Amino acid sequence: MGLWRKIMRTGRVAEPAPARVPGEAPSKAAELAGSVQIRHVDAGSCNGCEVEISSAFGPVYDAERYGARMVASPRHADALLVTGPVTRNMEMALRRAYDAVPEPRLVIALGDCARDCGVFAGAYGVAGAVSDVVPVDVEVPGCPPEPEAIVAAVRRLTGR
Amino acid sequence: MVTGALGTGLQVIAVALGSPLLVGVMRQVRARLEGRAGPGIGQPWRDLRKLLRKEPIAAHGTGWPFRAAPLLVAGTALVVAAVVPLVTTVSPLDGVADLFAVTALLALGSVALALGALDTGTAFGGMGASREMAVLALVEPTILVSVFALSIRVGSTSLGQIVTATVEDPLAVVSPASVLAAVALAIVTIAETGRIPVDNPATHLELTMIHEAMVLEYAGPDLALVEWASAMRLSIFLGLLSSLFFPVGIATAGAGVLAVLLSVLVLVGKVAILGVLLAAGEVFMAKLRLFRVPELLAGSFLLALLAVAASFFLA
């Protein structure tokens, strides 16, 4: 009963959906037609981006309302959400995860590290940016990117 | 007879088209209670439409059990949707499949999926398969025994006759045997359809998965079939629960076309209400530890056994 009262008192937490940011959607995204399953791959991130991803999919920003959903397997996915510079240990794992995704597949490079290795550029354990390992379709800048930016990138894929 | 065939056709169509919407409604209810906006009730259909257009991938090293499993699980769900009394009790297929056949068909789908999961040879596939079998071994006898409690009154294992008897004498449901059977059947429905507290359909944690761990390797159209089938099984179980214990509005022998159409609407309403209750209940519950699940299911089996005993001694 305590939880029920809390639910009633809190009501809706999700903020009203912001207007769509105009931007070019990747051509493959049109085939997905409002439903994008996303597999998150941590290729060597500091977990700053992960905190922002979980708030983007949390109650306040609610990325799920635009038709995106996080899934447990790359086989179920349409898009890989890659964070962090690709470390030597994760290079092969990222390639294999990409190969496991059925076509049409997309890759989102999330955060400065994923785009150009960020502060880890040139470090001995870093194999390169995400685009050096797999083709990238969407980039989200920021260290870490704000949830609004993540939601906007997801909406470019779902088209909603 | 014509209305029986019409009712059967309509009930297959209703289950096939409506079950993804039921999943959508349940996700939406959950989202609203969590303070989220939710993707809308049409999202499962959008997901299925997209999955059907995607490239089919068979995991490396898999054989025919992996490929046959989605077809078998969807096929058995469709057959069960045709033979159980959801819209009409006078289905022309009623003589084909009684309680035993329905339970066996549902088990066949689960076993096919478990074999498909074993065929992938991955750690999670095998783990999910072994867990699903452990749950299945406790669920199937409970379904049988709890419906026995109702069939003793009627003297038949035909689901159509059991429901007909309840329609003719609705107050017969208000007996200790029926109440015990209803609770037992509700618990196994939750377990068999992989809902909280037995399994969490939205989890990403492979170590806690049961049903989801088995389907990790499926992609594209195969995954669409598996997800569609599990949605159909959920609506069949909820529909059966409502038909057995609250068969209001179901079309019986001699019903007209209008009654059959009305019965479809009543079925949709009843299943939607049960689905909303189930989804709302899930918000208040955490998943049980895996080692506690057999205790819950053994408890439900005990209730079913008590229901049978009560139907002998109290009725």
Interface contact flag, B37 A75, Cβ < 8 Å: no
Interface contact flag, A62 B36, Cβ < 8 Å: yes
What gap in Å lies between CA A76 and CA A11, rounded to an integer? 32
The encoded tokens of residue A28 equal: 């493959």
DSSP B131-156: HHHHHHHHHHHHHHHHHHHHHHHHT-
The residue range of the domain holding B246 is 2-313
Q: Which residues of chain B have pLDDT under 70?
A: 1, 315
Q: What is the CA radius of gyration of chain B?
A: 19
For A111: left if phi > 0, alpha if psi spans -120 to 50, otherwise beta; the answer is: left
What gap in Å lies between CA B116 and CA B119, rounded to an integer? 5
Interface test with B, best of A12, A64, A73 (most B CBs within 10 A): A73
Distance from CA of A73 to the nearest CA of B (A): 6
Q: Is residue A96 part of a domain?
A: yes
Peptide bond into B20 cis (omega under 30): no
Query: What distances in angstroms separate CA B286 from CA B6, B165, B209, B283, one per listed residue?
Result: 42, 38, 14, 8
Distance from CA of A159 to the nearest CA of B (A): 13
pLDDT of B235 reads 95
Interface contact flag, A102 B220, Cβ < 8 Å: yes
**Which of A150, A100, A103, A109 shows the shortest CA–CA distance to A133?**
A109
Digit-coded pLDDT (tens) for A114-144: 999 989 988 999 999 999 999 999 999 999 9
Q: Name every residue whose Cβ is closer than 8 Å to that of residue B286 and which is 6 or more positions away in sequence.
A: B196, B197
Interface of A with B in 74-113 (CB under 8 A): 75-76, 78, 100, 102-104
What gap in Å lies between CA B263 and CA B268, rounded to an integer? 9
Interface contact flag, A75 B223, Cβ < 8 Å: yes
Q: Is residue A2 part of a domain?
A: no
Interface contact flag, B219 A13, Cβ < 8 Å: no
> From start to end of B197-305, where are the E strands?
none
Within 8 A of B31 by CB-CB distance, chain A residues are 62, 64-65
Interface contact flag, A59 B34, Cβ < 8 Å: yes
Interface of B with A in 165-204 (CB under 8 A): 203-204
- 3-class secondary-structure state, position B62: coil
pLDDT of B315 reads 60
Interface test with A, best of B27, B30, B33, B46 (most A CBs within 10 A): B46
Interface contact flag, B220 A37, Cβ < 8 Å: no
Q: What is the ipTM of this complex?
A: 0.91
Whether A31 and chain B come into contact, CB under 8 Å, resolves to yes
Nearest to B39 among A12, A65, A73 (CB): A65
A65 to chain B: closest CA residue: B39
Interface test with A, best of B27, B29, B54, B127 (most A CBs within 10 A): B54
- Are B72 and B107 in contact by the 8 Å Cβ rule? The answer is no
If one counts the domains in chain A, the total is 1
Q: pLDDT band at residue A31, thresholds of 50, 70 and 90?
A: confident
Interface contact flag, A64 B204, Cβ < 8 Å: no
Q: Is residue A11 part of a domain?
A: no
Interface contact flag, A72 B203, Cβ < 8 Å: yes
Interface contact flag, B35 A72, Cβ < 8 Å: no
Whether A70 and chain B come into contact, CB under 8 Å, resolves to yes
What gap in Å lies between CA B255 and CA B204, rounded to an integer? 48
The encoded tokens of residue A117 equal: 């290795």
**Which of A64, A60, A52 shows the shortest CA–CA distance to A12?**
A60
The residue range of the domain holding A94 is 33-158
Which contiguous run of DSSP H or E holds residue B115?
Answer: helix B99-120
If one counts the domains in chain B, the total is 1
Q: Is residue A84 part of a domain?
A: yes
Whether A6 and chain B come into contact, CB under 8 Å, resolves to no
Digit-coded pLDDT (tens) for B22-72: 999 999 999 999 999 989 999 999 999 999 999 888 888 899 999 999 999
